[in-house]
Amino acid sequence: MAPSRTIDHGNTLLSILISKPPFTETQGQYLAFIHTYTLLNRRPPAEADMQSYFRVTPPSVHRMVIELERRGLIRRVPRQARSIELCIPAQEIPTLRPQSIKSPASRY
């Protein structure tokens, strides 16, 4: 016999507030970058902009964009440059953390 589950409907709001966001930390940083870039440049970033900022490969950025779209966090027009649009409120987006600068001069 399976154990019965009870739901305390009186604490529904509390469980919503305590629940984790619908995205991972890395996904949150991509969302924060998209949000910040759009505010600063008045247009969404291209995948190449994300590649430069996060210092990752083009396929990595593309997979992240596809995953964010699959989760309903962004929407875009396929094969149209700079068409990314956030689908979540700005207050749910985490703060963008600065990326560390790696320079070959640090070896000297």
Specify the CATH number for the domain of residue 42.
1.10.10.10
Domain assignment of residue 82, yes or no: yes
Longest CA pairwise span in the chain (Å) = 68
Instruction: Report the C-alpha gap between 58 and 48 in whole angstroms.
Output: 7
Domain assignment of residue 106, yes or no: no
CA dihedral 88, 91, 93, 98 (to 10 degrees): 150
Domain assignment of residue 9, yes or no: no
Per-residue pLDDT tens over the stretch 85-99: 999 999 999 999 998
Domain assignment of residue 85, yes or no: yes
* Higher-pLDDT residue of 105, 45: 45
- Domain of residue 80 covers 22-91
Domain assignment of residue 99, yes or no: no
- For the chain, what is the domain count? 1
What's the predicted TM-score (pTM) here?
0.75
Q: Find the mean pLDDT for residues 69-86.
A: 94
Domain assignment of residue 108, yes or no: no
Please state, in angstroms and as integers, the Cα–Cα distance from residue 87 to each residue in 1, 11, 34, 55, following that order. 42, 27, 11, 25
Per-residue pLDDT tens over the stretch 5-50: 445 555 555 555 555 668 999 999 999 999 999 999 999 999 999 9
Tokens for 58? 């083009």
